[in-house]
Amino acid sequence: MNNVVSPVTLIVEHDVVIIGDFDVVGDTDVGNTLNVELVGSDEVGDADVGSTLNVELVGSDVVGDTDVGNTLNIELVGSDVVGDTDVGSTLNVELVGSDEVGDADVGNTLNVELVGSDVVGDTDVGSTLNVELVGSGEVGDADVGNTLNAELVGSGEVGDADVGNTLNVELVGSDVVGDTDVGSTLNVEL
């Protein structure tokens, strides 16, 4: 599930409330937006809970003291369904548990890029996504390749949705991505 293919860049939304510098994630308050890009597969479906997708953080935004390229594990949880959603759909990512994301508070913004050929569609809550930091941005005290655990939460359904649909995702686990408190919210668009 770590196959990397030719990237298919998809720009994410920027309409989320940002508190702090748009280019800096560290030392910012809740509400910042994450920019994500899906590369490789066009689809996000046909995956069971726990399935994995490769996601890379991209852009020049700074999330902490880490170089771009770090990996985050995002797991779909709850009763939400991703279904046959096309690339570009939006996910709400929230940091939870003991994970940290640099010197920023909940809601800091990150640039992420989905990579690999894995499919998420028709997936039940709990599926896992691999998020990797890329570009020139930084994410706290973790080195490139570090992993964070994220879970999809909420009770809504996204299945068979087109680009732009939203899912609730929470980062979980004990991995450290910086000096930020768990619970930060991220808006991720497939």
DSSP 157-180: B-SS--TT-EEEEEEESS-B-SSP
Pair 69, 133: CB distance under 8 Å: yes
Pair 83, 122: CB distance under 8 Å: yes
pLDDT tens string for the chain (190 positions)?
Answer: 433 333 322 333 222 222 222 233 333 223 333 333 333 333 333 333 333 333 433 333 333 333 333 333 343 333 333 433 333 444 444 333 333 333 333 333 333 333 332 333 433 334 444 443 333 333 343 333 334 434 333 333 333 333 333 334 444 333 333 333 334 444 443 3
Give the count of alpha carbons within 13 A of 2, CB side only.
7
pLDDT at position 26 is: 34
